[in-house]
Structure 1
Amino acid sequence: MSSNTAVDGGDDERPPRVVALGGGHGLHASLSALRQVTTDVTAIVTVADDGGSSGRLRQELGVLPPGDLRMALAALCGDDEWGHTWSEVLQHRFRSEGDLHGHAVGNLLIVALWELLGDSVAGLDWVGQLLGAHGRVLPMSSVPLEIVAEVQGSDPERPQEMRTVRGQVACASTGGSVRSISLVPESPPASTQALKAVREADWVVFGPGSWFTSVLPHLLVPELAEALVSTRARRLVTLNLSPQLGETDHFRPETYLEVLREHAPKLGVDVVLADHEAVEEATLLDRVVRDLGGVLELDDLSRVDGTPRHDTERLAAAFERILSK
């Protein structure tokens, strides 16, 4: 499937407007596939990362953590030499004994533009233009956020005990099971451009990705949550291929949807996309999907080498089939 392929959207004059929500590797996979299906894709990215290069820049400069935003931009680079080269530049990390060690070039470029322009969205748009990105990348909030998780069983000797864990890295690597999350500040401001994109979209895509730290945080930003509930867009949920140790350890496919409903009870779902091999009881999953108002679509989505990662071409084919309906 070429990057020029596009399916019909709300009318026959334009491609479908698709908004993809998430962060990290999951959103990267989704965007890499979506840009093959439509020329109008917007990524709305979580801004709660507090680890690595992003965490250091956030702490030192007080900026939004740029890492997940950088990965989204890299995913939208074209398949030509220009796109491949800039994607590699953006993702390149310095290796040294000094202060630059571990910093990604793209993180530094994004933060430099933020400082020069004084506008996070404008800075990302400039990077997108430089890369020739096939879409737009927006932060979900205009301020950096902290994820707070309620975790059960982090102490093996007290499996029922709950404790509070703060920070995205700590939540993602917890030894217990995450039961719920909240954000600090509690009611953060949403990006106005993100709200506009959701309201004008034909499709909104949730996942795949780290469920508690990349997908669900969007639903805890009040203005963004309201826009996601009230938008006329159809909503597609792409399920993960396997549980994530700690964060979603022992999750079954239907568990992701049950947790989604717990955090956003008013959110309806139109389509849930899952991999054949990752679903043991399709009847049970189908029942949960129908309870949310949606239909279940099963397909072959994983890489042929057996690793639990989405194959870009397979995911793109599934997206094209669903978005064409």
Structure 2
Amino acid sequence: MLPTGARGPRVVAFGGGHGLYATLSALRHVTGNLTAVVTVADDGGSSGRLRGELGILPPGDLRMALSALCDDGEWGQLWRDVLQHRFETDGPLNNHATGNLLIASLWNLLEDPVKGLDVVGRLLEVKGRVLPLSNSPMEIEADIVDNGHTKVVRGQSRVAVAPGRVERVRLFPSTANVNPEVLEAIEEADWCVFGPGSWYTSVVPHLMMPEVREGLGKSKAQILLALNLTNDVETSDMSHGDHIRSFVSYSGGIKPRIVVADPSAIADLDGLDDAVKNHGSKLLLRQVHQVGERAVHDPLRFAAALRDAFEGTITDVTRDAPSN
């Protein structure tokens, strides 16, 4: 359920890792009615080790989302730093994040992923709520074409860095269910926000869950797609227009109402315009990158763009002046 008693539109943000962190860091300035939905397929680093040893959901991306929503006061910022702290040792604790261990401990004690995350949220006085996409750990598998040959790559950490063109991705187990509270949040939402983030390992997995697609189709919520500032290995051959076409394909025909993009990141603006118009969407061009850091979102610039989108203060195509 989306938080009650807070001001602003009811927003559900989907993603994982640093991309969702950027979205939440901006959205917290726009609304207090905020729910983050996080992928649960991470199998690398501290999260992967805890997942393998304890049989739990990978906690890392959930930890990142909680950190992004910490209260701005001294208490919240202290706990944000505690959550993000990583140990550097010559022993088994090396590279484990404190927040991952805290979340894993609460899950062990409470035997309920959502209750454990809610406890951490209260401790950190977060602005919003964080939910796992599913209460079951999942795996990502991709068909990747490299030098004319198709190979099957399994595991989020491997898919994210595998060279070649991603042809298709799959989720395992196929029987995994979406967290019921995620579906409730979608039903109540005014807006559902996808991106930015690793396309095939953080954004697309949400759309591959039939229950999510069905929920989006039934909800009154409008869809906003925030495009990446740079391409990563997963999408090295994709244009911004390709991202929109891919979104509609994986969503089963559900189209974004608004697409947010930074003009400095677009190599083919005409192609992006065509893709947006062909799907009946609106394009909002805004400088959302940090000054001097074109690959990093600025929370306040991004927040201003999202506020414009939510308030309907854009025309069919809104373009900024040339970016700094």
Preserved contact between residue 77 and residue 134 of structure 1 (Cα < 8 Å): yes
Residue 67 of structure 1 is aligned with which of 13, 38, 60? 60
Q: Return 5+ residue gaps in structure 2 as ranges.
A: 1-5, 313-324
**1:197-217 Cα distance to aligned partner (Å, 9 max, x none):** 011000000000000000000
- 1:130-169 superposed matches below 5 A: 130-153=123-146, 159-169=147-157
In the alignment, which residue of structure 1 is the partner of 2:229?
241
TM-score, with normalisation over the residues of structure 1? 0.92
Residue 205 (1) aligns with residue 193 (2): yes
Give, in whole Å, the separation in 2 of the partners of 1:15 and 1:312.
17
Deviation at 1:14, TM superposition (A): 4.6
Preserved contact between residue 213 and residue 252 of structure 2 (Cα < 8 Å): no
Preserved contact between residue 273 and residue 299 of structure 1 (Cα < 8 Å): yes
In the alignment, which residue of structure 1 is the partner of 2:162?
174
**1:270-319 Cα distance to aligned partner (Å, 9 max, x none):** 00000011123323212211222210110101111134111111101111
Runs (4 or more) in structure 1 with deviation over 3 Å come to none
Return the letter of the residue paired with 1:40. N
In the alignment, which residue of structure 1 is the partner of 2:105?
112
Q: How many residues align?
A: 307
Deviation at 1:89, TM superposition (A): 0.5
Residue 261 of structure 1 is aligned with which of 237, 240, 248? 248
Return the letter of the residue paired with 2:53. E
Preserved contact between residue 224 and residue 256 of structure 2 (Cα < 8 Å): yes
Residue 44 of structure 1 is aligned with which of 37, 41, 51? 37
Give, in whole Å, the separation in 2 of the partners of 1:64 and 1:116.
14
Preserved contact between residue 94 and residue 105 of structure 1 (Cα < 8 Å): yes
- 1:1-325 superposed matches below 5 A: 14-153=7-146, 159-244=147-232, 246-325=233-312
Preserved contact between residue 188 and residue 222 of structure 1 (Cα < 8 Å): no
Deviation at 1:237, TM superposition (A): 0.1
Secondary structure at 1:257 match in 2: helix
Give, in whole Å, the separation in 2 of the partners of 1:306 and 1:118.
42
Return the letter of the residue paired with 1:71. M
Return the letter of the residue paired with 1:83. G
Secondary structure at 1:42 match in 2: strand
Return the letter of the residue paired with 1:129. R
Give, in whole Å, the separation in 2 of the partners of 1:267 and 1:308.
28
**1:238-272 Cα distance to aligned partner (Å, 9 max, x none):** 0001110x211132111111221222232121000
Secondary structure at 1:25 match in 2: helix
Secondary structure at 2:293 match in 1: coil
Preserved contact between residue 187 and residue 221 of structure 1 (Cα < 8 Å): no
Return the letter of the residue paired with 1:175. P
Give, in whole Å, the separation in 2 of the partners of 1:88 and 1:306.
23
Give, in whole Å, the separation in 1 of the partners of 2:210 and 2:137.
15
Q: Please give the root-mean-square deviation of Cα atoms over the aligned residues, in Å.
A: 1.2
Q: Return 5+ residue gaps in structure 1 as ranges.
A: 1-12, 154-158
